Amino acid sequence: MTSLQPLKYFVCKPRSKTPTDKHAFASRMAMETYARVIQETDEEFAGQIMARVDHEKELVHWMGTKDGCDSRF
């Protein structure tokens, strides 16, 4: 078994390359969860995160409908 190093940072990449980009989808889910958790203590930052996630979701929807694909993300 390998020993794990302490994790200081975890980078999310919410921008999708395709309508079915699983890494971007997971990043958006993580960002939404983080925003909900900090909502009570930092409403402004949580709102900024959610605005970014909503923007990326709109882009994914546009990508899916532009090509006639069914975008589920």
Query: What integer pLDDT is reported at residue 69 of this predicted model?
Result: 47
Cα–chain center distance at 38: 16
Domain count for the chain, please give it: 1
Query: What integer pLDDT is reported at residue 19 of this predicted model?
Result: 87
Assigned domain for 29 exists: yes
Assigned domain for 11 exists: no
pLDDT digits (tens, 9 = 90+) for 4-53: 888 778 889 999 999 899 999 999 999 999 999 999 999 999 999 999 99
CA dihedral (60, 11, 52, 50) positive or negative: positive
Assigned domain for 8 exists: no
**Cα torsion through 62, 47, 38, 4, rounded to 10:** 40
pLDDT digits (tens, 9 = 90+) for 27-37: 999 999 999 99
Assigned domain for 17 exists: no
> Where in the sequence is the domain holding 30, given as residue range(s)?
22-66
Query: What integer pLDDT is reported at residue 71 of this predicted model?
Result: 44
Q: Tell me the C-alpha distance between 47 and 49, whole Å.
A: 5
Assigned domain for 27 exists: yes
pTM, full prediction:
0.76
Residue 49 CB burial class (10 angstroms; 0-12, 13-18, ≥19): buried
